[in-house]
Amino acid sequence: MLTKRIIPCLDIKDGRTVKGVNFVNIRDAGDPVELGASYASQGADELVFLDIAATTENRKTFATLVREIARHVNIPFTVGGGISSVADVAPLLEAGADKVSINSAAVRNPQLIDELVKAFGSQFVVLAIDARKLINQWIVHTHGGSKPTDKKLFSWAREGQERGAGEILFTSMDHDGTRQGFATDPLAKLNELLQIPVIASGGAGTKEHFLHAFTLGKADAALAASLFHFGELSVPDLKSYLKNYNIPVRT
């Protein structure tokens, strides 16, 4: 049985780790290099580094910061933010990234998924989807969750898989930062629709929420930020809890 992954997320703005609620009210959460090294030593399975202002500010992810973080971790590391072409990816690979996450640019140009898969392979490409429930439909949003689109969560996720994306990172904007739990219903539906792994994001507040993501939501991995950043939950404690409920985790 495949183990369930625990993934701390480092949202980066101006070289600092930040965290907000429903994608707004951003506050400082610490140095990304120190946090990344700490999570790696605690036994996190992967890290995600998202330059949350790269798309809205029309600039590229800082490869120098990626390189510095990668020097201090020994676990897989996904990088996202401002990636809109194959050419954007090479500096991130050279800096030490294991995978890239694409979001707004893929919505704007779905062919980008095909191009990245052709150039680097499916296992390298994570399609991140930010969605909010509007009039009983999960609507995809871009630009850090600020712009609604005409795409629906489930059909867009399926298209991403068909184009070769290796994983789906689904963030519920309605749950993000609220610590009220992951959006387990859409997670479960994504699991039914797709053959590729689905990462749950948005809403982690307790150890039970991770358990629900893996049992009710059928997620392959669960991502969280503030819960880890502010010292309210450690990766070892979370994994120990999950093991008690027979959730397969790597220790």
Catalytic residue numbers?
Answer: 11, 130
User: Could you tell me if 218 and 186 are in contact, meaning their C-beta atoms sit under 8 angstroms apart?
Assistant: no
d(C-alpha 163, C-alpha 59), whole Å: 26
Element of type H or E holding 228: helix 226-229
Of 185, 233, 175, 189, the C-alpha closest to 208 is 233
- The DSSP output letter for 122 is G
DSSP 150-205: EEEHHHHHHHHHHHT-SEEEEEETTTTTT-S---HHHHHHHHHH-SS-EEEES---
